[in-house]
Amino acid sequence: MENTKTLYEKVGGEPAISKVVDYFYELVLADDTVNEFFKNTDMEKQRRHQTKFISFALGGPNQYSGKSMAKAHEGMNLQPVHFNAIVKHLHDSLAHFGVSEQEIEQALSHVAEVKDDVLYK
């Protein structure tokens, strides 16, 4: 039987991704490069959105129905240094939960696709 599991299924679906997201925000909120962007954020809502986004980025169902990436980041004027910090924290969070380097690269390639939608808005 050929292995056609998505990365989403391999990591354990939404419950596992939810744990990754919790850890991810621990790293993000401890990072002075990017934590200022979250000081007035409803983190519960943010975690739910991020879980859906990462689930989709890993090949899971697209249940994301929030604002477009460009709209969600409007007025933030995010710079490459901010984007790169977030990507690094996502990488470290996935690695923390045992996702292989190859699979992390696959996931981050999906994240890279939204880069133009979030920078300099």
> Which domain does 48 fall in, by range?
11-118
Number of domains in the chain: 1
DSSP 76: S
Whether 3 maps to a domain, the answer reads no
CA 101 from centre of chain: 16
Instruction: Name the strand (E) or helix (H) holding 82.
Output: helix 80-96
Cβ–Cβ < 8 Å for 64, 56: yes
- Report the chain (121 residues): mean pLDDT per 10 consecutive residues: 80 94 98 96 94 89 80 94 97 95 91 93 93
Whether 71 maps to a domain, the answer reads yes
Quote the pLDDT of residue 16: 94
CATH of the domain at 96: 1.10.490.10
Whether 81 maps to a domain, the answer reads yes
User: What value, to the nearest 5°, has the Cα angle with vertex 59 and ends 91 and 113?
Assistant: 60
Whether 78 maps to a domain, the answer reads yes
Distance CA 37, CA 69 (A): 15
Q: Which residues pair with 78 in a beta bridge?
A: 119
| Neighbouring C-beta atoms of residue 25, cutoff 10 Å | 19
Quote the pLDDT of residue 3: 66
Q: What is the CA radius of gyration of the chain?
A: 14
**pTM for the structure as a whole:** 0.90
Dihedrals phi, psi of 95, to nearest 5 degrees: -60, -40
Whether 63 maps to a domain, the answer reads yes
Whether 5 maps to a domain, the answer reads no
Whether 1 maps to a domain, the answer reads no
Whether 2 maps to a domain, the answer reads no
